[in-house]
C-alpha cells in the first residue's frame, strides 16, 4: 500500500532560522512528487513538482529536493508569512491520475 | 498556475437537505477535475475523479448516491451532497488538472456545516 509520511508534524521557528521539512514515500514507481502550501481555511497552493531523484526546484526562500525515497523542503531565513501547513503528495506510475497526500507539517514562524 | 473558483465558499444547511457546490476552472479547459474533503487538522482525502462527459470515479468508501458529481463542461464540475447529515460537515475542495500535466490546482474550498 502506498504511504506518504511527513515530519515533523509541527515546527516552530524563529524568523530567520532555516530548517527543512521531510516527506517520505513508498511507491513502486514514482510519477511525480508535489509540494503544496495550505493556509487555514483555504485550498492548497501549488509550489513544486519533482519527477526524478536528484532534481531540485527553488522559489524565493523555498527549495525542494528529491531522492529515491524522500523529499525535503528547505526553508531559508523564513519570515512570519511563511507560516502555513506544507503538504506533499505523490503520484504513482500505473495509478491513474490520483494523488496520495501526506498528513502535512504545520510551520509557525515567530517574529 | 491556474485559477479555480468554488461557490459557495461556505454554506449551512439543515439535516436532510441537499447542497450543491460548484467548481470552475477559469484559466483552461479541464478534462479532469477532482473532489476532496478535509476534516479539521487532517490532510486531503480524495473523494472522486470527475471526467468531462463521463461518470465520475469514486474512491472506496465514498457513496456515489450521496455525493453526486456532474462534470457538465470542460470548465465546470458540481458536487451535490444529498440528504446531508451532520457527519457530512467538512471542508470540500476541488482541483483541476491541465491535459498533459500532472500537477493539480486547487480551488479555495467550500465549508459545509450541516445542523
> pLDDT-based confidence at B30, cuts 50/70/90?
confident
Q: Determine contact, residues A97/A91, Cβ cutoff 8 Å.
A: yes
Predicted local distance difference test score (pLDDT) of residue A96: 63
| Nearest CB to A43 within list B42, B49, B107 | B107
> pLDDT-based confidence at A97, cuts 50/70/90?
low
> Per the structure block, which three cell numbers stand in for A42?
483555504
Give the pLDDT mean for A48-55.
Answer: 95
- All residues of chain A having their beta carbon less than 8 Å from the beta carbon of residue B43 are 87, 101-104
Q: Say whether pLDDT at A27 is over 90.
A: no
Q: Is the Cβ pair A49, B104 closer than 8 Å?
A: no
**Residue A83 DSSP SS3:** coil
**Separation CA B5–CA B93 (nearest Å):** 10
Q: Which is more confident, B74 or B10?
A: B10
Q: Say whether pLDDT at A44 is over 90.
A: yes
Other Cβ atoms within 10 Å of B81 Cβ, number: 24
| Nearest CB to B103 within list A41, A42, A49 | A49
Predicted local distance difference test score (pLDDT) of residue A2: 59
Number of Cβ pairs closer than 8 Å across A and B? 53
- All residues of chain A having their beta carbon less than 8 Å from the beta carbon of residue B45 are 101
| pLDDT digits 0-9 by tens, B45-101 | 999 998 888 889 999 999 999 999 998 888 999 999 999 999 999 999 999 988 888
**Residue A77 DSSP SS3:** coil
| Nearest CB to B102 within list A91, A101, A104 | A91
Give the pLDDT mean for A34-55.
Answer: 96
**Residue B48 DSSP SS3:** strand
Task: Identify the CA nearest to A88 among candidates A56, A57, A47.
Answer: A47
Give the pLDDT mean for A68-83.
Answer: 97
- All residues of chain A having their beta carbon less than 8 Å from the beta carbon of residue B91 are 41
> Per the structure block, which three cell numbers stand in for B72?
457538465
Amino acid at each position: 500500500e502506498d504511504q506518504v509520511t511527513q515530519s515533523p508534524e509541527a515546527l516552530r521557528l524563529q524568523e530567520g532560522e532555516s530548517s527543512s521539512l521531510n516527506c517520505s514515500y513508498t511507491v513502486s514507481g514514482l510519477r511525480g512528487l508535489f509540494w503544496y502550501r495550505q493556509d487555514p481555511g483555504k485550498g492548497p497552493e501549488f509550489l513544486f513538482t519533482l519527477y526524478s531523484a536528484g532534481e531540485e526546484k527553488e522559489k524565493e526562500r523555498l527549495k525542494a529536493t528529491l531522492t529515491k525515497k524522500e523529499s525535503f523542503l528547505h526553508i531559508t531565513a523564513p519570515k512570519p508569512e511563511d507560516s502555513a501547513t506544507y503538504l506533499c503528495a505523490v503520484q504513482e506510475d500505473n495509478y491513474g491520475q490520483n494523488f496520495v497526500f501526506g498528513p502535512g507539517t504545520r510551520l509557525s514562524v515567530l517574529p | 498556475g491556474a485559477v479555480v473558483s468554488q461557490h459557495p465558499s461556505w454554506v449551512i444547511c439543515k439535516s436532510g437537505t441537499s447542497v450543491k457546490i460548484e467548481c470552475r476552472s477559469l484559466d483552461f479547459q479541464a478534462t479532469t477535475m477532482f473532489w476532496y474533503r478535509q476534516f479539521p487538522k487532517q490532510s486531503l482525502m480524495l473523494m472522486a475523479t470527475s471526467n468531462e462527459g463521463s461518470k465520475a470515479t469514486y474512491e472506496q468508501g465514498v457513496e456515489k448516491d450521496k455525493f453526486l458529481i456532474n462534470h457538465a463542461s470542460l470548465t465546470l464540475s458540481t458536487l451535490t451532497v444529498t440528504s446531508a447529515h451532520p457527519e457530512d460537515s467538512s471542508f470540500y475542495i476541488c482541483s483541476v488538472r491541465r491535459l498533459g500535466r500532472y500537477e493539480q490546482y486547487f480551488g479555495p474550498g467550500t465549508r459545509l456545516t450541516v445542523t
